[in-house]
A and B are shown apart, each in its own frame.
Chain A
C-alpha cells in the first residue's frame, strides 16, 4: 500500500516542480543576455575605480572597497562556520 502511494506521488511531484520552475522562468522570456537596461552603476565603477581606490583590479576594488561591508560579513560567516565545525568534531574528555 505504501509502495503504491509513493509510485503515484513521485511523478506528480516531478510535474509540480517542473510547472513551478516554468512559472518562475516566465518573466525571463524575451530578455537578451549582456544588454542590461540600467548601466549607471557599472559605468561609474568602470570609470572611477582606478582613481578612487588606486587598485588596478576593478573586481577586487568592488569586493574590498565599495562592498567592504559584504566582505566583512563573509569573513564573519566563515569564522562562525569554523566555530560550528570545531564544536561538532571536538573530543569530549
Chain B
C-alpha cells in the first residue's frame, strides 16, 4: 500500500510536533496529568504515523535506526535502575526519593497546596519519568517496526499493476458475464 503526497507531507510535518508533545507530557509528569508511560506512548505514535504514511522501506530514512531505538529502550530501563541504586549510594534505601527538597537537581522546594508547579521539583520522580518515557517509546516503536517488517509491503509499481488488473478487464463483456 502506498500513500499520496498529502499524507506523506502531513506526516512529515506532524511527527516532530507529536514527539515534542510526548516529551512535554513526560517531563511534566510530576506537575500535570500524564507521565512516562503516557508520554512514551504518544511519542511512539509519531513512529507509527511515519511508518504508515511512508512505507517501512522509505520511512526508515526518516526514523532513527532500529538499533538506536533498541538502545533507547535498554537505556530507559538501565537509567531507572541506576537512579534507584544511586539512592543507596547517597545513603538512603533503594528507590528512596533522596533528591527531593535538597536544592540540587529537581530539588526545589514545592509550595504546598494547590499550585501551578515548578518544573525543578520532585526529586528523582522526573528522572524516573524520563527513563520510563524513553523506555516506552523504544518498546512500542520496536514492536511496531518488527511487526511491519513481518508484512510484505507492495511497491508503487505493484500497486499500479494490481489496480490496472482489477479495473481494465471489467470493461470487456466476457468478464461482466462471469461476475454475474
Contacts and interface: CB of A to CB of B under 8 A. Distances in A.
B33 interface: yes
Given A50-B110, A57-B30, A72-B80, A79 B123 contact: no
Interface in A59-73: 59-61, 63-65, 68-69, 71-72
Interface residues of A, number: 30
A54 interface: yes
With most chain A CB atoms within 10 A of its CB, the pick from B107, B128, B129 is B128
B121 A56 contact: yes
Interface stretch (A12-20, A24-32, A37-45, A81-89): A81-89
Interface of B: 29-33, 35-37, 73-74, 76-77, 80-81, 84, 95, 97, 100-101, 106-110, 112-113, 115, 117, 121-125, 128-129, 131-132, 135-136, 139, 142-143, 146-147, 149-150
B73 A79 contact: yes
Interface of A: 50-57, 59-61, 63-65, 68-69, 71-72, 74-76, 78-79, 81-82, 85-86, 89-91
A85 B117 contact: no
10 contacts: A53-B100, A54-B106, A56-B110, A56-B115, A59-B33, A64-B30, A65-B125, A79-B139, A81-B139, A86-B146
Contacts of A65: 97, 123-125
